[in-house]
Amino acid sequence: MQANLEKENAALEAVKLVRQDMTVGLGTGSTAEYAIHAIGRMVREGLRIKAVATSARTAALAAQYAIPLMAINEVEMIDLTIDGADEFTANLTLLKGGGGALLKEKIVAVKSRQVVIIADASKYVERLGKFRLPVEVIPDAANYVLRELTGKGAVRMQEGKPFVTDEGHHIIDVDFGLIADPHRIDTQLNNIVGVVEHGLFIGIASRVIMGVGEEVKIFNG
């Protein structure tokens, strides 16, 4: 499938940035997994790194390759994080959280010197918002947050029950329409009691590597 080739090519380009003795942030999702497999192979061939995982799923995959993992809180600074995105714009604003891992992804990203996003060509948009914005909430606040979002949000469900994040929270997916001003949405969401974090990453990514056909295209913002 074309998208898978684009994801893998972007991942293989990104892992060229990994150097001996780096602390590396490992993202979550189908695109980030290509990078984790590649880094795992590099570790098997002698690369020495420490890594932090942005989700339990990523930690489990890293463990299969015996990539040494540190707790996020134990690491002062991360040299390089490689992660995916659900959407990105040319100025490197991201929409993330389709896999429900946005909270740890954002913590890892803000502790990182370099955040390299890898994506297939379908993730590039002129304006964010076709993909509904994931908002992580305290379960006891979910109905309050839904009310504050005036019908734009819906609790993410999985097998008939609310989806539960690694931290025990729920996700509300919000349809803001196409987002003209991400800063305004960021402020609005941060002011709702019970919202833990949301999937808009503004001013956080350093670079996007996008696979397009058999090529890769780099966005530096």
Ligand X SMILES: O=C[C@H](O)[C@H](O)[C@H](O)COP(=O)(O)O
Distance CA 107, CA 103 (A): 6
Q: How far is the CB of 131 from ligand X (least distance, A)?
A: 9
Binding-site residue total for ligand X (CB under 6 A)? 18
Contact assessment for residue 54 and residue 97, using Cβ atoms and an 8 Å cutoff: no
Q: Is 123 annotated as a binding residue?
A: yes
Local structure of residue 122 (DSSP, 8 states): G
> Among 72, 78, 83, which Cα is nearest to 116's?
83
Which of 29-37, 38-46, 57-65, 178-186 is the region at the interface with ligand X (rule: CB under 6 A)?
Answer: 29-37
Which backbone phi and psi does 155 adopt, to 5 degrees? -70, 130
> Among 105, 200, 99, which Cα is nearest to 156's?
99
Asked whether position 86 contacts ligand X by CB under 6 A, the answer is yes
Asked whether position 111 contacts ligand X by CB under 6 A, the answer is no
Which of 12-20, 22-30, 107-115, 180-188 is the region at the interface with ligand X (rule: CB under 6 A)?
Answer: 22-30
Give me 173's structure tokens: 């997916």
Q: Is 28 annotated as a binding residue?
A: yes
Which of 24-32, 58-66, 70-78, 155-163 is the region at the interface with ligand X (rule: CB under 6 A)?
Answer: 24-32
Residue among 87, 105, 136, 197 flagged as catalytic: 105
Q: Is 97 annotated as a binding residue?
A: yes
148 counts as catalytic: no
Asked whether position 101 contacts ligand X by CB under 6 A, the answer is yes
Number of residues that this document lists for the chain = 221
Asked whether position 112 contacts ligand X by CB under 6 A, the answer is no
The single residue listed with the structure tokens 């098997």 is 44
Specify the residue, 99 or 211, whose C-beta has the smaller distance to ligand X.
Answer: 99
Q: How far is the CB of 101 from ligand X (least distance, A)?
A: 4
150: left (phi over 0), alpha (psi -120 to 50) or beta: left
The single residue listed with the structure tokens 């997994």 is 33
Local structure of residue 124 (DSSP, 8 states): B
Binding residues: 28-31, 83-86, 96-99, 123
Active site residues: 105
Contact residues for ligand X, defined by CB under 6 A: 27-32, 83-86, 96-102, 105
